[in-house]
Chain A
């Protein structure tokens, strides 16, 4: 059947048709491969998009601060912004996780230190990677974390309690309509 099909194709000038098909099919297959790659490329593309636009509240990890920025004159004492802290723990029974203070009032430009407390409720070692999110998302472009326990994996001995510091600063050019920022953390269990 397939041989006779081939024969019949050749009979009616099939080789000419095959010549036309091959480049088209090659182009379409390249398109398929590119789209497969595009699926993977979406992973970094979404991250880049979020960093640039602040969408998703994931920016704000900026530790690079110029000397000019640290200049105390940059502190805007005329404004007060409320920063709220949230600790999300979906592993009740394994962990205790809460903010050291629930909210602070800060002036844009000044450095503020706060802390979170985590306790390993098991007798065995556990480790976690914290993840974070800022609301409103727009504020993440103006939120700088100078030191944060979320930068690294956190390892805990059995029953260990840790006081984990966060040092942050809000850029003075924070848009006027933002008066409250919520910083939320979540502990994500790491399988070792």
Chain B
């Protein structure tokens, strides 16, 4: 875990700026250091990625052949529900917050996050939340099994686990909100003098916008699940038709949170690949300003398109049309981004180190996921695709080959900076190629399954779907196991390896590359000079 080794500093107990981390295990509980907390967030995210991954393996194992083979259907439903919540709230979101913690202060020339103790609290809520959440598996009635979207009335039939699930979701939400407030306060208040908004690295921009989306969306989710709680235990009837409520209302409120949420999961990924592609193309990012505006437009549009998740609930034509057009409009700013990445690579002196490979795969495969999203966004067509494996294929293309691939890219890109050692490029490339091939074997056939009518969230299926499911499962097992290569790379890198220079990558721009690898426990105690900031500004060259 000791990714930041500044042992030679920690004897200095003068309550001054240059003390190192506290010795012993308590360092990790009491730390308010952005690098320590970044590390904790990233390790937590990785751990949850494997727990959620294990659940996915159970799902693919059961779907390997038609019929009920390994688990009972109710447990299968718990797996699909918990896999989603663990991956979204436990895997991807904390990993992005970890990157924000590690990188944003170093990128904007700040010495730490603006609210260091809130930062500590925000992180330590997460292990508590997920311990509680995972423990529901062992409660009477089992864990939540009604799908991660928690639709009533089905979700109200959850057993003893129900209030614990709601409470753990509240804790996850509070953690995200605290993280978001911290990012906003840091970016607004702690930028080094001379670091104007349009000189900020694009990753900082995307995270700033994501943080505002989090503040917009997470409280609404908290409200929605609180209504579920009071419906179940306190005789309110928000979602019960018998009491004058409406179950479809939950879907509206949930997706008012849920759609911004999908952009919360992808905007930081856009930021990451926008950092990496220029580095390995040895060219500045094409259209920096348009990237900023496109990100902001996507964020705005994401808040007004929620009902495209519920085209089939019986909306009137006017509603269908509005949500269809607004949804498809998101393709415009997203297209701006994809073309900007392509234009950044155009005639660049490209080298294909692991982070670049993951980023290029991100651009191609995320765009695939975007296209299937467009298909789903077309109202009349959605009636065929709704709740089929086509939807599963779509959101795994944007979440796995999108968000997760960007995280892998970020992991390899900044690992030398964090640990001070180069990772093993051969293993990293093996990890990339095995993952990229297997992830397509895993998810591409699911498009065909969905178009042929296989519904999602079922443990058994018509034998006509057998071949594609078997292929998909084989891809799944290979993809799952190959992720261990990342852990191996990471452990090797922490333990030792070739010393990394402070620049690490030849074409890398940004203040973080001015710092040692690994950086000192406290960095930018004195802000970087404006000259240095201009030298590294994404628009300045």
Contact = CB atoms under 8 A, between A and B. Distances in A.
Contact of B17 (A8, A21, A42): A8
B215 A32 contact: yes
Given A12-B17, A24-B184, A129-B241, A39 B249 contact: no
26 contacts: A1-B22, A3-B15, A4-B15, A7-B15, A8-B15, A17-B114, A17-B189, A25-B115, A28-B181, A28-B184, A28-B215, A32-B218, A35-B217, A35-B218, A36-B219, A36-B220, A39-B219, A39-B253, A39-B256, A43-B238, A43-B249, A46-B252, A54-B316, A55-B318, A56-B248, A190-B243
B427 interface: no
Nearest to B238: A43
Interface string A96-112: 00000000000000000
B193 interface: no
B215 A11 contact: no
B190 A189 contact: no
Given A31-B215, A129-B242, 8 more contacts: A1-B27, A4-B19, A8-B16, A35-B216, A38-B220, A39-B220, A55-B316, A186-B241
B177 interface: yes
A40 B221 CA distance: 10
Contacts of A38: 219-220, 223
B116 interface: yes
A2 interface: yes
A37 to B, nearest CB: 8
B185 interface: yes
A7 B13 CA distance: 12
A28 B188 CA distance: 12
- Interface residues on chain B, size class: 35 or more
A12 B184 contact: no
Please classify the interface of chain A as helix (H, G, I), strand (E, B), loop, or mixed, using the class held by over half of its residues. Answer: helix
A31 B116 CA distance: 21
A43 B189 CA distance: 37
B29 to A, nearest CB: 10
Nearest to B244: A129
Nearest to B225: A39
B400 interface: no
Interface in B195-232: 215-224, 227
B215 A39 contact: no
Contacts of B252: 42, 46
B15 A56 contact: no
A5 interface: yes
B335 interface: no
A87 B496 CA distance: 72
A136 interface: yes
A24 B190 CA distance: 12
Given A31-B215, A129-B241, A188-B240, A21 B189 contact: yes
Contacts of B319: 55
A46 B313 CA distance: 15
A11 B522 CA distance: 14
A75 interface: no
Contacts of A25: 115, 181, 185
B30 interface: yes
Interface in B321-364: none
Nearest to B216: A35
Interface in B17-52: 17, 19, 22, 27, 30-33
A3 to B, nearest CB: 7
A52 interface: no
Contacts of A12: 17, 111, 525
A131 interface: yes
A21 B115 contact: yes
B114 A55 contact: no
Nearest to A58: B246
A80 B456 CA distance: 45
A20 interface: yes
Contacts of B241: 129, 131, 186, 188
> What 3 A-B pairs are tightest by C-beta distance, nearest first?
A39-B223, A188-B242, A35-B219
Interface string B297-317: 000000000000000001110
